[in-house]
Amino acid sequence: MQTLVADLLAWFEKHAADLPWRRDRTPYAVWLSEIMLQQTQVATVIGYYERFLARFPTVEALAAAPLDEVLKLWEGLGYYSRARNLHRAARVVVEQYGGRFPGRAAELQTLPGVGRYTAGAIASLAFGEDVPVVDGNVIRVLARVFDIAEDVGQEATRKRLWTLAESLIPPGAAGQYNESLMELGRVICKPRQPECGVCPIQVHCAAYRLGVQEGRPVKAPRKPIPHYDVVAGVIHGRDGQQGRILIAQRPADGLLGGLWEFPGGKREPGESLPEALVRELREEMGVTVEVGAFLVKVRHAFTHFRITLHAFECWIAAGEPARIGVADFAWVTLDELDRYAFGKADQGIIAELRERPRRLL
């Protein structure tokens, strides 16, 4: 009987999917793909990866670009701190490493946005260092093969998984081993209804032998997530800004950092939606608005909360826009909205504006 790792590698050699980032194992391409793949499925990443690499073929090109352009290419992919860190890291690589990525996991991990997983992936795949990776796939495969019954959310269990993954590395072939483990987790050893019948390492799997594969890995139950009502103003320009809308850029850090939005904010208890909008626009931009017609309602889910976004037409009754709680603002036409990166919820407002253009636009 072959060993677990030998069977795994033999399967991967025969069944590896043809993914764009498997054609270019340069450190830059591997790094980019691994950042995009954080908490994001392969199918979602492919288009973004190809567009991004076409626009920024080298780390120098990325480092030279304005952050706004990077965010625009990242628009819709989520976890925008990844894009901000990617841009920062590109500048570090160019300015401090002469454009060459460091070749060791320990040093790679000092780059912004590069944690232990990503450092291990770049070091093993692009540089051939014998270091492991532990992502959601690896956790699931190892928890099943070794029938790990402890909560994988616990730090002690994570440590055990890293040690286990490292102990299995075939000398000189960590990259192939790491990829094969992740591919098996994605294609065969899936979270629900794993395809044990065609699994190349079924005979090595303790959970399968015990019939508990659907119960591995063990995870603690999630906490309920809150819901908020959020208001947004589509503020029509007057006088010199006739035919334009006021949009604002969110602060660089935090939720949707650096993205643009229709300004507004969360409704407080006891407040009506128009009252909330008037308050938020005073607080964030220093303007007093007259709230007009309700425009559209957009429901959206984030990781830790859900929102219902209520958009209203507005006009400025007093004051001039100021950068108080926003990083920037701009008066733009409907066509010019395409140049700015927006979150998904605000794109629902844009879709409504394009579908039923207002007379005043």
Partner DNA sequence: AATACGGGGAG
Partner DNA sequence: CTCCCAGTATT
Does position 242 interact with DNA (CB under 7 A)? The reply is no
Q: By C-beta, is 182 or 287 nearer to DNA? A: 182
- Smallest gap from Cβ 293 to DNA, in A, equals 25
Q: By C-beta, is 22 or 358 nearer to DNA? A: 22
Binding mask 123-162 for DNA (x = CB under 7 A): ------------xxx-xx------------xxxx------
Exactly one of 13, 34, 75, 214 is catalytic; which is it?
Answer: 34
Does position 115 interact with DNA (CB under 7 A)? The reply is yes
> Cα separation of 276 and 265, whole Å?
7
Half-sphere exposure of 314 (CA within 13 A, CB side): 31
Binding mask 275-304 for DNA (x = CB under 7 A): -------------------------xxxxx
Query: Alpha carbon of 92 to those of 96, 197, 211: distances in Å?
Result: 5, 47, 49
Stretch of residues binding DNA (CB under 7 A), selected from 3-11, 115-123, 261-269, 329-337: 115-123
Does position 232 interact with DNA (CB under 7 A)? The reply is no
User: What does 288-322 look like in DSSP terms, one character per residue?
Assistant: EEEEEEEEEEEEEE-SS-EEEEEEEEEEEEE----
Q: Which residues contact 303 (CB under 8 A, 6 or more apart)?
A: none
Q: By C-beta, is 14 or 192 nearer to DNA? A: 192
Does position 25 interact with DNA (CB under 7 A)? The reply is no
- Smallest gap from Cβ 267 to DNA, in A, equals 17
Beta strands in the chain (DSSP E): 227-236, 245-249, 260-261, 264-266, 288-301, 306-318, 328-332
Binding-residue total with DNA (CB under 7 A): 62
Query: Alpha carbon of 185 to those of 188, 214, 297: distances in Å?
Result: 6, 13, 39
Q: By C-beta, is 42 or 289 nearer to DNA? A: 42
> Cα separation of 65 and 67, whole Å?
6
Among positions 7, 34, 261, 280, the unique one binding DNA when judged by CB under 7 A: 34
SS3 227: strand
Does position 78 interact with DNA (CB under 7 A)? The reply is yes
Binding mask 307-336 for DNA (x = CB under 7 A): ------------------------------
- Smallest gap from Cβ 190 to DNA, in A, equals 8
Q: Which residues contact 165 (CB under 8 A, 6 or more apart)?
A: 132, 133, 134, 138, 142, 181
Q: By C-beta, is 82 or 236 nearer to DNA? A: 82
Amino acid occupying residue 135:
D
Half-sphere exposure of 179 (CA within 13 A, CB side): 24
Can 34 be counted among the known catalytic residues? yes
Beta strands in 153-287 (DSSP E): 227-236, 245-249, 260-261, 264-266
Among positions 185, 233, 263, 265, the unique one binding DNA when judged by CB under 7 A: 185
Q: By C-beta, is 274 or 348 nearer to DNA? A: 348
Q: Which of 3, 1, 47, 21 is nearest to 183 (CA)?
A: 21
Q: By C-beta, is 209 or 219 nearer to DNA? A: 219
Q: Are 361 and 316 in contact (CB under 8 A)?
A: no
- Smallest gap from Cβ 10 to DNA, in A, equals 18
- Smallest gap from Cβ 117 to DNA, in A, equals 3
> Cα separation of 87 and 59, whole Å?
9
User: Footprint of DNA on this chain (CB under 7 A)?
Assistant: 19, 21-22, 33-34, 37-44, 76-81, 85, 112-119, 121, 135-137, 139-140, 153-156, 179, 182-183, 185-186, 191-193, 219, 221-223, 254-257, 300-304, 343-345
Catalytic residue list: 34
